[in-house]
A and B are shown apart, each in its own frame.
Chain A
Amino acid sequence: MADQKSNVFDYEKKILEKAENALKKDPMPEDELLNHYKELVCEYKKLLNKTQKITVVGDSNQKKLFTACDKIESQNLQLNQAVKEAEEARFAKSEFFARMSHELRNPMNVILGMTELALITAIDKEQRDYLETLKHSGQRLLHIINDILDFSKLDAHQLTLERIDFFLRDRLHSLIKMMTVSAAHKGLALNFRIGKGVPQVLKGDYPRLEQILVNLVGNAIKFTNRGGITIDVSLANVAEEKREDRIPLLFSVRDTGMGIPVNYHETIFNSFNQGNVSITRKHGGTGLGLAICKQLVELMGGQIYVDSKPGKGSSFFFTVQLEPGNYSRAKSNKQQNYIPRFHGKPLRIFLAEDSAINAKLIIIFLKKLNHRVFHDYNGKDLLRRLKKQQADLILMDIEMPGLDGFETLRLIREDVSGAFDSNIPVIALTAHTQQDFKDKIFKCGFNDYIPKPIDLYRLSRILLFHGPGKPVQPSGNAPWNVKKRLNIQEALKRLNDDIELFQKFCRMFIDEIPEINHKLDKAFLTKNFDDLKNCAHYLKGSAATIGADRVSHISYRLEQVSGDSDSPENPLELIHAIRQEMEKLKTLILPILKKI
């Protein structure tokens, strides 16, 4: 367009030059002047004409330009709208997933609970096998649902961190204990080291920190076939200025496993990614684990990265910012694992729960334990019942329509009518497990709480603890502690030092454990004391064969106690002791199987 314009004016310039030159001729004949003038007028007309034409073209161009601008602007608006909508959609999607996972979790818990109940009824071996498979798959599904729930919460920025005082060494110790069984199954050693200067007491979201570590250690176990895994904790060097209220920590989880190719080092932390697809196929998992780790680490003000070479093992590093902890608060947070004394007295239990299906699960279970249960759907009905009937204990859902759990409890505690004992033990049932919510529950005067999904064994323990009768702390020096946990020398001597035979028996014993646990639970819950006695008798001999003197001795006590209602000893306490001791035995035996 610019070129076209300059050409147009070139011509006009020439005319003007001509006119100027003509004016310079002095004096100029009049007719020549007139001719020039005529020419000029003519040219001027042409020029005017052209200018008009150009203006028209220009106008239309300008119009086009304006329309284009308008278009761009409206497109921009549309784009902004689209971006906004996409963000909203992403948020809505995450919210949807979070809600969905919640919705999925509830029925899943009922399925698991009912499976658990079915397992303690009279069933044959085949049925038991089906139910065990159902339970196992259900647990896996629940695990996946929990992963998705976490991921959605993180994605929708809905996950808030808790601030809990805790002892680092203590917690790491129990973490290692928890993971040792699966590590030992593969013959892997599992260790942790806490570096110099790391404070003993810290404050932060330990459950989430544990989640990260469980994930990393779990992966390490999954992808390592020989060697071991080490967790290291040290003070992190930070570029920023040191702050009194911040403790930067560096965690590392090292394994001697298959390693990760360099080109995956970045992408493994992306969601739905797992190194490569064939790994997913072989090892399973949602591929969300590391993505969740990354987001949690970032939420704790840190970073996560990996250092690895194929065949040379992997080291995952991550930093987090914690706070200095308070010793006495950490001590009170330390879970007290008491086993209450068994008294066997059936209780009258009032249950307030608005979900019919949850109530059903609880009622069936409590009835199995010989208790009597009276169910109401809301706080109002519960209060009405309390005034008419006598109860030993109340189980109450917090989130009920109308009068909620807190309000109902207040009315119970403030009651002056004397129609019932206003100090009656009241146990809260709640899906909220955040620390401040727990604090609120105790502050409001609940005697205890049970998180939903309800762990039936925890429920039975809590009932025993809060029901009439005095709770007794388990003594650190139980009578059977004098017995050796595993007396290998004696066992070997009895077997003519046949190491292979000993190994074979150890393997057989470990394989028996789940079935024995199940039989003991079932016999106890169904009050079948003959079965309990027989099972205890079997375990007594079986454990003795491999030199598991302590388990053998506890079983002996259980055998004596079974069916003897006058016995001062508590079968449930003994069953729990057996369960605990067998877990410890497992961790002792598994490494031996590899070593010998």
Chain B
Amino acid sequence: MYNKKVVVVDDDQKVLITIEKTLRQIGFEVFTTGDGKKALELIEREIPDLVISDILQPGMDGILLCQEIKKTPAYNHIKIILITGVFNRSNMTRITGCTPDAFIEKPIDMPQLATLIQQTLKI
């Protein structure tokens, strides 16, 4: 048991289920939502160790969410993984000034995600 909290944001229920299942297998506590604004509320309430978010979703998109977390001192320790597949990563970080800790591509590969999370959280 690692006893870590993760907030997952994606409007595709299938993606939420996939990630939740992977995280629970590693022994994490998982909070999911399909809405960017609700994600922010969840983060405020739970103060998670990791946020995994899609780029496009209702409420607030993943890039804004990422910027919001990065500029809040209280969230300094929170790692961010953005779910992507479309954007060229270097381009995106340059344009938006958003610096997530890692990227994962859709469709989500469960074994790959598990490895990536362990690397990102250094566990």
Contact = CB atoms under 8 A, between A and B. Distances in A.
Partners in one complex: yes
Interface of A: 491, 493-496, 498, 501, 504-505, 508-509, 534, 537-538, 540-542, 544-547, 556, 559
Nearest to B111: A496
B14 A505 contact: yes
B110 A495 contact: yes
Q: Which of A496, A541, A546 has the most CB of B within 10 A?
A: A541
Contacts of B86: 537, 540, 556, 559
- 5 nearest A-B residue pairs (beta carbon): A544-B107, A494-B109, A541-B106, A545-B107, A496-B110
Contacts of A542: 12, 14
A514 to B, nearest CB: 16
A541 B13 contact: no
Contacts of A509: 14
Given A494-B108, A494-B110, A501-B17, A545 B12 contact: yes
A541 B13 CA distance: 11
Nearest to B108: A494
Interface string B41-85: 000000000000010100000000000000000000000000001
Contacts of B110: 494-496, 498
A501 B21 contact: yes
Contacts of B14: 505, 508-509, 542, 545-546
B11 interface: yes
Contacts of A494: 107-110, 112
19 contacts: A491-B107, A494-B112, A495-B18, A496-B110, A496-B111, A498-B21, A501-B18, A505-B14, A508-B14, A538-B11, A538-B56, A541-B12, A541-B54, A541-B106, A541-B107, A542-B12, A542-B14, A545-B107, A546-B14
B85 A540 contact: yes
Contacts of A508: 13-14
B98 interface: no
Interface in B94-111: 106-111
Contacts, number: 53
Contacts of B17: 501, 504-505
Contacts of B111: 496
Nearest to B55: A537
Nearest to B113: A494
Given A541-B15, A545-B14, A545-B18, 7 more contacts: A496-B111, A498-B110, A501-B17, A501-B21, A508-B13, A537-B56, A546-B14
A124 to B, nearest CB: 14
B106 to A, nearest CB: 4
The residue among B14, B15, B18 with the most chain A CB atoms within 10 A of its own CB is: B14
Interface residues of B, number: 19
A546 B12 CA distance: 12
B64 to A, nearest CB: 15
B33 to A, nearest CB: 16
A537 B11 CA distance: 11
Contacts of B106: 540-541, 544-545
B107 A538 contact: no
Nearest to A491: B107
Contacts of A538: 11-12, 56
A393 B114 CA distance: 59
Contacts of A541: 12, 15, 54, 85, 106-107
Contacts of A540: 85-86, 106
A532 B109 CA distance: 27
B107 A534 contact: no
A547 B108 CA distance: 11
Nearest to B10: A541
Contacts of A493: 109
B73 to A, nearest CB: 32
A534 B12 contact: no
B11 to A, nearest CB: 6
Contacts of B107: 491, 494, 541, 544-545, 547
B104 to A, nearest CB: 11
A185 B14 CA distance: 21
Nearest to A504: B17
Nearest to B13: A508
B13 to A, nearest CB: 6
A534 B107 CA distance: 17
B108 A545 contact: yes
Nearest to B22: A496
A542 B56 CA distance: 13
B21 A544 contact: no
Contacts of A546: 14
Nearest to A542: B12
Interface string B8-50: 0001111101100100000000000000000000000000000
B114 to A, nearest CB: 9
A493 B108 CA distance: 10
A584 to B, nearest CB: 20
A493 B85 CA distance: 18
Contacts of B15: 541, 545
A139 to B, nearest CB: 29
A496 B108 CA distance: 11
Contacts of A491: 107
Contacts of B56: 534, 537-538
A546 B17 CA distance: 13
B78 to A, nearest CB: 24
A537 B110 CA distance: 21
B30 to A, nearest CB: 15
